[in-house]
Structure formats: structure tokens, C-alpha cells
Structure 1
Amino acid sequence: MKTLKIIPFLVFTILLIFGCETKSEQITNADDYTKYLGLKDNKSVTFAQNEIDFWQKKFDAAPNQISYLSQIAANYSTLFEYTGDIKNLYKTEELLIQSNEAYDYSRVSTVRSLARNYISQHRFKEALVLANKALAIGEGKKETQKLLFDVQMELGNYPEAVKNLNVIRDMNSFDYLIRLAKWNDHKGDLETAITFMEKARDIAEKEDNKVLKIWSYSNLGDFYGHAGRIQDSYDSFLKTVALDPNYSYALKGIAWIVFSKERNTEEANRIIDAIATTHNTPDFYLLKSQIAQFDGNKSEEIKNRNAYFSMMEKNNYGAMYNKYNALIYAEDKNTAQKAIEIAKIEVAHRPTADSYDLLAWAYLNVGDNKKALEIAQLHVAGKSFEPKIQYHLAMIYKSNNLPLKTKPIKDELLSSLYELGPNFEKKVNQL
């Protein structure tokens, strides 16, 4: 499953990847995907558990064979991907630290594996330290430069990211093409990003590499959704689950189409509830809360939001859900100050336009319009093309009586309603 983790930031996207439009033609058909819901068997999970048992016994019998630890760690990482259980991610970290310490951080593949684990945990600065350590070792330099691109993008160090991207340039390389797609998406050139992602998919199909096909199909599902190509998005997600029926990310993508495009809240909830039985993560409660809000069901909306926070309390997710926490707290004047505190931590951890957007939005919601505008103009405007960030920017402009800056963003957002979600339709129209 190693390749599935090549760009965690593309896959770890959790909630608002897709969006909304007026109710129009039917895209989905429950017969297409119902067979993938509520499956009892997950061959990937069973295989990973058997592998853990096998390698653990071997390690117990020969504790000097440190290489076994990496085998065990890789399978715990697979369990995390399929179950969402954070304990498996931390177990992976524990084993990789043990392995790295035994090797005195001299084995480059093990150092890189720990860096990828830290990326999944949103511990990006620590991941960068390890990536640079791997680069200094020198072995497998191109693999390390792929990792460096991934980390630098997360940290907002874009000139450094591009340097690493240029070094690994190879138009016949799947790994290069998906990063080139990521770079173009970051620049706001979605059409070019899709072109490169499709080239990567073609390579995966030509090589008949199941892991790469799953990865490229699911990410194309995202990209097509961004571009308003909803039928293509749906078809791409279906291709993903046909290869891996337990791939919850693609099923969630279908749930978003059902909710945002077709406004079928009952069916969207059915899909989400089925996924959550095997892959239980806090973001599912937030999605259900959004759906309840659209239905006008206040008690369900609050119930699911409370369930989200309850799950956050029961598990230590570190910084992984900081963005969502900040956005939720910012919505309520009574907790907006908390949003500022979280946003400041995010800015310190990763000074990207996304992090500064959280900070500007939080300041707007405590009534400090001028501070919000100052941050937005300096760190957000022209630096991110994500619709929700653009909506925040428009609201900040509006609150500072800048209608000439607000209107072009409103016009743009009206074409991004699918991605934003049904609850934003009224908000955008009121800009």
C-alpha cells in the first residue's frame, strides 16, 4: 500500500472537496454502489492483520532483525487507511521510531516512512526535518525529493517545492505527474491539473497497477468534481470502488454527489452511515451535520456536531482536525476567540494561505473587520483558489464596505456552488 501514501495531502482532504448546484439531472443510481455498502469482509484489513501477526512472531523470535519492524509498521499504516482508527497511525509511528533508533536514523527508507507518518499527523515541520535528514544520507535521492515536494507544499514553501519538482521531472513517471497535477491545482489551473492526472491514470492502466489505478481514479473523482464535471466524477469514483469495494474515500465522494448535486439527503445519509460502520472518523459527523442543516433539522445538526466533538475528546487527533475545529468555533460568537487561538497555532505550524484564511475568518467573527482585512490582503488574496476561502474573502471585503472587490468573487462562487455545498447557496446569493 506504499504508493497510496505518496501524497497524503491529496487523500487526507476530508470534508468539503465537492459542492452544490440546483437540483437537475440524476447522476447517481443506487444500484451502482449499494453492493459496496456495509461489506463485512475487507481483504486488505484481513491481510494486514495476518501480516502483523506473522512479522510480530518473527520479530519476537529474533529481536535483532530490525527490518521486521518496518514490515509490521507498514501493515498498521494500512489498517489506519481502511479503518480510520487513529491508534493504528500512532502504532505505526511507535514502530518506525523504534526502527529508526536501532538504525541510528541511517536507513533512508525508514526515515522517509516516519516522515510520511508525520505528514498524516499534520506534523509537517517534523516531517521536513526527517526529509532533510534522508536527503543528507544521499541514498535514493529522487524518492526523497518527492517527499520534500510533498512536505514543502504542505508548509507553503512553494519555491522550494518547485525546485524539488523540477529535479524529479519525468513525463513518463506516475509520481512526477501526480505532483505536477497538484502544483497546477495549487496555481488555480484546474484544467491542466486534470490533464496531468489523466496522464498519470493512463500510466497506471497501461501498467495494470491496481494500487495506482485506485489512487488516480479517486483523485480524478475529486478533480472532476472541482471542475463541475459531475458525471465524470461519479464514474471515476465507481471505477475506484469496483477495484477496491472498501475504499471509503470514493464512497464518500459518491455521498457528496448525492447530497450536493441531487439534494437527496436521505440517500446521502444512508451511504455515510454504511461507510462509518467500518471507517469511523470524526468528519463523517460533520458531513451529517451539514446535511441536517440543509434539511432544517436543528436537533440532528447539533447532535452530529456534538458527536464530532465527543469523538475528538475520546481520541487524540493532534493537529489533524484543527481546520475544522477553527471553522466550527468561528461560527459562534461565544467560541470565536477559540478559533483565533487554533488559527494562530495553524499559522505557526504551516504558514499557508489556508491557515491565514482561518485566522482572518476568526477575526472577522469576533468583529475585528480591519484585522481580518489586513491578514486577508497580505496572506490570502490571490494565493488560494479554494471556494470556501474565496467566500471568506468576499465576506471580509463586504464587511469592510468594498463592494467592487466582493462582486467578482461572488460571480466566481456562483459557479462553485457544487463544491461548496447546498448550505452555501443562500449565503453566496446574499453577498
Structure 2
Amino acid sequence: MRTIKKLSTLLLAAAVLLSCNQKSNTVTSQKEYSKYLEIKDNKSRDFVQSEIDFWQKKFDAAPNQISYLSLLASNYSKLFENTGKVKYLYKAEELLLKSNEAYNYSVVGTIRSLGRNYISQHRFKEALVLANKALAIGEGMKETQKLLFDINMELGSYSQAEQNLKAINDSSDFDYLIRISKWNDHLGDLKTAISLMEKAKYIAILNENKHLQVWTFSNLGDLNGHAGNIKKSYDYYLKTLELEPNNSYALKGIAWISFSHERNTVEAKRIIENISKRHHTPDFYLLKAQIAEYENNTVAKNEYLTAYFQMLDSIDYGAMYNKYNILVYADDKSTASKALEIAKKEIAHRPTPDSYDLLAWSYYNLGDSKKALEIAKKYVVGKSFEPKLNYHLATIYKANNKQAKIVPIKKELLNSMYELGPNLEQKISNL
């Protein structure tokens, strides 16, 4: 009788301990963010649409006023950001092309706007041509150098990016601060990256610029998550939503916290289901597939991946989802050759360590570990601090029996489990 009572006491203590551990792991609160999931209207989108209607009427009445085209394009770009519908990005491009053609590519602001549109479309080399065209004209040099920094970072031209960063050096300038923050993140110095983004945040607050506050809050949500400051990350996503209740990026960030940190797949799925109704983009299917994989639901995972590719087939996203396609195809031996084909194309227009990693990963999944190692050593090792790249690198090292090189990488990977997600936990432990 005493033995049974003792066992019951132990079981109760274990249950209490488990409950405490689950609570200590919880940073989100449904009471705080659920109201943002239930919003029916979208004031930001409606305002942008009203601006489009206004400027379209103005242009229809005075088609010789070319400046109206840029104003229309700017609002279509905002509509793309708000809804995720790529047709609005293409509409902005169409308007900017008309505007640049009318000006004979002589107005630097309009040239830069088209360059930024091409960045969003992942047409980086075309964006570079436009930025250099603006640079040659010579007006607004600082703004053009900011654009060049952004493009060079995307192209992996880091020495040129650094030169442009030095050219715009001004610690009181918001645009400089967010770029030097990105530069430090690229160097693997997250602490400095966060500190610089905090300075940019204060400038945005001081200037009462809601758009820039939303931008910095959401980015601080990301950066703090990468640094393992999960509660801070969550708080910044909430701050983003307070200013912009329909911000799908912040809600997706909270969904990731629910999934990766709290391991609450039910709540993560609830958040994703709600936001994907308002901001319907292919990447939500990939997130759902990740969660299904964690739940060992292979049928659901395959259904979500099928839905993802069906959406890509029905809507032309250009090169915007190449990276995701490579990762999905590479993880399946039957489609790994497709991954290799896309990876080669990606290198042709974006020769970054990230792209070369995808090429190496494709070769590894095709069974050519030696070729994978050769590419990784030449183009990836020491050139990026991204956890996913390091996971691929460690896996390739293991396939080539280079265990000594795995040890320091594995330590870093274990510290990056939140960013990598729970599906890689066992794989990393087995390295």
C-alpha cells in the first residue's frame, strides 16, 4: 500500500515538474495576439487602394503627368507587401517601365524605384544595371549607393557592398543604421546588429514615422529570435501588430515561436490558417508541411507540398521561390536532379555562398559527396554564418569522414535550434 502511495506521489511530482517546464517554455499569450487574428477589415490595404483610385483618376485626366505613374507604382508595391499578391508587384513594374521610358531613363529616383522592384522579384543583375545607370547620372549619389549596397549584398559582392556602406557612413541616418546592422548580421555579429537596429528604431520613433517603426520592430523580432532572445522577439512582433494589426510577417513570427520554441503545433497551425487567408503566399504551405513533418503526418506533409507546387504552377513568381524549390526537391532522392538544375540557374544570377550551398546540397543528395565538399570548401566555408548552411556543411563533412571539422559546427547548430526548427534536432544530434 505504501509502495503504491509512494509511486502516486512520484507520478504527481513528475506531472507538476513537466507542467512547470512547459509553462517556463511559453512566451506567447493567446490573449495578447488573438485579436489580430480575428480582424476582418484591413485599413492599411484599404487606404492604399484609395490612393491608387485617386492617382489613377488624376492620371486618366492628365496622361501627360508622368509623375503620377511613380505614385501609382509606389502604392501598388505597398499593396503587394500587404496582400502578398505578386500581380501588384508586376503592375508596379509595368508603371515604372512606362515612367522610365517616358523620361528616357534620365530621372534617378524613377530608375532606383524600378531597381527596387527588380530586387523584390529576385532579378538582381537587372537591378544592378539600373543602379549603375543611376550612378552614372550622378544625382542623389547617397541614395544610389544605398541601393547598390542592397544589390551587392544580394549578389554576394561583399567587398563592393562594404565600399558603398563606407560611402554613406552617417550614424545619425536611419538608412545607414539599418544597412550597417545587416552588414554586422552578415559578419555573424548579432549583438552589434541588434544594437544598431535599436538605434534605427529610436530614430523612427523620434520622427513619428509609423512605417519605419513597423519595419524596425519586425526586424528586431527576427534578430532577437536568431540571437535566442525569444521573449524579446515575441514582444517586438506584438509592438509591430499594435501599429499595423494586419502585419502578416509579425504573425508568422509568432507562429514560428509557437512551433519551434514552444512546440505547440496546434496553436502554430491556428495562427497560420488565419493569416494565410489574408496574405496568401506559397511559403505558408511549406510552414504547414514542416509542422506536419514534426507531427509525423506524412500524408498531410505531402498534401501541403503538392498545394505549394500547384500554387507556383498557377501563379508566375519568377525566381522568387527558387531557394525553397531547391530545398524541397533536394530532400527527395527522386527529385534531387531537379534541385541541381535550379541551383545552377540560381548561381548564374545570384552567386552567393547561399546559392553555392544549395548547389553543394543538391550534389550531396544525388550521392556525389566529394563534389559537394569541393564546392562547399571553395564557396561556402567561412563565408556565411547562416545555421542552415552550417547544417548542410556538417552533413557533407560527415559523408566525407571529416569528423573533426563537425565538432565546432555542431556546437553552433545546437545553439541555433530555434532558428533551424525542431525537425532538424535529431539529425543534428546524430552528426
CA pair 260-24 structure 1, distance change in 2 beyond 3 A: farther
Alignment partner, residue 45 of structure 2: 45
Matched, 1:127 2:127: yes
CA contact (8 A) 1:118 1:127 kept: yes
Alignment partner, residue 419 of structure 2: 419
Whole-angstrom distance in 1 between the partners of 2:71 and 2:203: 28
Matched, 1:209 2:216: no
Alignment partner, residue 249 of structure 2: 249
In structure 2, what residue type is equivalent to 1:186? Answer: H
Q: In the TM superposition, what is the alpha-carbon distance from 1:138 to its structure 2 partner? A: 1.2
In structure 1, what residue type is equivalent to 2:204? Answer: A
Give the TM-score taking structure 2 as reference length.
Answer: 0.94
Q: In the TM superposition, what is the alpha-carbon distance from 1:259 to its structure 2 partner? A: 0.5
Give matches, 1:23-102, under 5 Å.
24-102=24-102
Q: In the TM superposition, what is the alpha-carbon distance from 1:98 to its structure 2 partner? A: 0.6
Whole-angstrom distance in 2 between the partners of 1:202 and 1:58: 37
Alignment partner, residue 114 of structure 1: 114
Alignment partner, residue 166 of structure 1: 166
Whole-angstrom distance in 2 between the partners of 1:64 and 1:38: 44
Alignment partner, residue 291 of structure 1: 291
Whole-angstrom distance in 2 between the partners of 1:244 and 1:48: 14
CA contact (8 A) 1:24 1:261 kept: no
Alignment partner, residue 198 of structure 2: 198
In structure 2, what residue type is equivalent to 1:220? Answer: L
Q: In the TM superposition, what is the alpha-carbon distance from 1:155 to its structure 2 partner? A: 0.4
Q: Which has the higher contact order (CA 8 A, sep 6+)?
A: 1
CA contact (8 A) 1:356 1:376 kept: yes
Whole-angstrom distance in 2 between the partners of 1:299 and 1:107: 54
Alignment partner, residue 264 of structure 2: 264
CA pair 23-341 structure 1, distance change in 2 beyond 3 A: farther
Moved more, 116-125 or 403-412: 403-412
Whole-angstrom distance in 2 between the partners of 1:41 and 1:150: 34
Matched position secondary structure for 2:374: helix
In structure 2, what residue type is equivalent to 1:29? Answer: S
Moved more, 369-378 or 203-212: 203-212
Q: In the TM superposition, what is the alpha-carbon distance from 1:127 to its structure 2 partner? A: 0.2
Alignment partner, residue 313 of structure 2: 313
CA contact (8 A) 1:80 1:86 kept: yes
Matched position secondary structure for 1:277: helix
Alignment partner, residue 155 of structure 2: 155
In structure 2, what residue type is equivalent to 1:95? Answer: L
Whole-angstrom distance in 2 between the partners of 1:318 and 1:22: 43
CA pair 99-385 structure 1, distance change in 2 beyond 3 A: same
Q: In the TM superposition, what is the alpha-carbon distance from 1:23 to its structure 2 partner? A: 8.7
Q: Deviations over 1:86-140 (max 9, x none)?
A: 1000000001001100000111111000000000000000000001111111111
In structure 2, what residue type is equivalent to 1:335? Answer: T
Alignment partner, residue 138 of structure 2: 138
CA pair 317-189 structure 1, distance change in 2 beyond 3 A: same
Alignment partner, residue 8 of structure 1: none
Q: In the TM superposition, what is the alpha-carbon distance from 1:351 to its structure 2 partner? A: 0.8
Q: Deviations over 1:281-335 (max 9, x none)?
A: 0000000000011011111111111110010001000000000000000011111
Alignment partner, residue 390 of structure 2: 390
Alignment partner, residue 342 of structure 1: 342
Matched position secondary structure for 2:266: helix
Gaps of 5+ in 1: 1-20
Identity %: 66
Q: In the TM superposition, what is the alpha-carbon distance from 1:208 to its structure 2 partner? A: 2.0
CA pair 22-361 structure 1, distance change in 2 beyond 3 A: farther
Alignment partner, residue 16 of structure 1: none
In structure 2, what residue type is equivalent to 1:55? Answer: W
Give matches, 1:213-252, under 5 Å.
213-252=213-252
Alignment partner, residue 325 of structure 2: 325
In structure 1, what residue type is equivalent to 2:363? Answer: Y
Structure 1 stretches of 4+ with a deviation exceeding 3 A read 21-24
Matched, 1:372 2:367: no
Q: Deviations over 1:364-392 (max 9, x none)?
A: 00000110000000000111111111000
Q: In the TM superposition, what is the alpha-carbon distance from 1:56 to its structure 2 partner? A: 1.1
Whole-angstrom distance in 2 between the partners of 1:50 and 1:354: 40
Structure having the higher Rg = 2
Q: In the TM superposition, what is the alpha-carbon distance from 1:230 to its structure 2 partner? A: 0.2
Whole-angstrom distance in 2 between the partners of 1:125 and 1:280: 28
CA pair 106-207 structure 1, distance change in 2 beyond 3 A: same
In structure 2, what residue type is equivalent to 1:364? Answer: Y
Q: In the TM superposition, what is the alpha-carbon distance from 1:205 to its structure 2 partner? A: 1.6
Whole-angstrom distance in 2 between the partners of 1:87 and 1:329: 26
Whole-angstrom distance in 1 between the partners of 2:198 and 2:159: 25
What is the root-mean-square deviation of aligned Cα atoms in Å? 1.2
Query: Number of matched residues?
Result: 411
Moved more, 199-208 or 26-35: 199-208
Matched position secondary structure for 2:278: coil
